[in-house]
Amino acid sequence: NHDYSVDLTEVIIPPRSTIIGKTLIDLRFRSKFGLTTVALWRNGRSYRTDVGKMPLQVGDALLMVGSAAQIRALAQESDFTVLQSGHAARPRRPHKARLALTIFAITIFVALTGIIPPAEVLLAGALAAILTGCLNMDEAYRAVEWRVIFTIAGMLPLSTALIQTGLAARVGDVLTATFAPFGTWVFLGALYLVVMLLTQALSAQVTVVVVGAIAVNAAVDAGIAPTVAAILTAAACSSGFLNQVAHPVNVLVAAPGGYHPADYPRVGFGLMIVVFLALMLGLAVFWGVR
């Protein structure tokens, strides 16, 4: 039975985890989850002794031993990101693979046609996956990033307040007055830079909700289509390359790749420039920005 066979797995501490600064002993980790921690990888160095006494940090990679059932139980905890391997990662419903792929393909195709609003199409696709047995209710519930949803829900009133109080328009006026006289491309470049820097400190979801209204107002004042501002904001919010905690993916690749904090800005600046140039080219070619 795979559920009771011993397996190795790697566990990463993600950003904004509530256990940062605590030790495995403080968490009573072994008694709670039944997993044994073999080693810890941090900043390019491996630790094999007294791991349970070391305060956990963002990006720590823990090598653990336990059963597949214990690993799956840990994967349900939002404070840990489990990179499953071996028995724990084997698909439990391989006979549903073709059906799941078909549902996915149909969902994406219908969403791209625009016949039905994308949100409704994606919801229908998720329900189809559950009703056909590709996922059960518990798996579907765990697949939803509830913290992101509640964060966005909490920030939407702030975005509305920025618009209704006129603050978004005022900040937009300042951006327009400062950069618009230098031309459209300078204005768009400055807007991209501001949003991108905010993304390094805040999550992309929070940044786009808060800054979106300001960017649109600034673009309208500068005589630029709101669609252009929306696309630029979305691209800038996806440019969290400069530090380890700007995006969850940065943390996921840190330990397996052996990356140090200094590696992110060294590579990230180049990626940021590539994204910026590709964005400007796209705006010129597809949206007629001049």
- Here the tokens at position 165 are 């109080």
Q: CB burial class (10 A; 0-12, 13-18, 19+) of residue 39?
A: middle
139 belongs to a structural domain: no
274 belongs to a structural domain: yes
Under 8 Å between Cβ of 64 and 8: yes
Residues 270 and 194 reside in one and the same domain: yes
Residues 170 and 67 reside in one and the same domain: no
140 belongs to a structural domain: no
Residues 85 and 98 reside in one and the same domain: no
Question: Which of 69, 89, 109 represents a domain boundary (last residue)?
Answer: 89
Residues 153 and 271 reside in one and the same domain: yes
Q: How many domains are there within the chain?
A: 3
CATH number for the domain spanning 85: value is 3.30.70.1450
192 belongs to a structural domain: yes
Residues 44 and 171 reside in one and the same domain: no
138 belongs to a structural domain: no
Residues 27 and 122 reside in one and the same domain: no
Q: Which domain holds residue 122?
A: 94-133
Residues 170 and 280 reside in one and the same domain: yes
Residues 150 and 262 reside in one and the same domain: yes
Single pTM value for the model: 0.60
Residues 64 and 129 reside in one and the same domain: no
74 belongs to a structural domain: yes
258 belongs to a structural domain: yes
Residues 78 and 6 reside in one and the same domain: yes
Residues 247 and 176 reside in one and the same domain: yes
190 to each of 43, 87, 175, 178, 215, how far by Cα in Å? 34, 50, 8, 10, 11
pLDDT of residue 197: 87
225 belongs to a structural domain: yes
Tens-level pLDDT at each residue, the chain (290 residues)? 445 567 888 999 987 788 999 999 999 999 999 999 999 998 888 899 899 999 999 889 999 998 888 888 888 888 898 886 555 555 567 888 899 999 999 999 999 888 888 889 999 999 999 999 888 887 787 777 676 677 667 767 877 777 788 877 788 888 888 998 999 999 999 999 988 988 887 767 778 877 888 888 888 888 888 899 899 999 998 888 888 777 777 777 776 677 788 888 998 999 999 999 999 999 999 988 88
Residues 113 and 59 reside in one and the same domain: no
- Here the tokens at position 190 are 């400055």
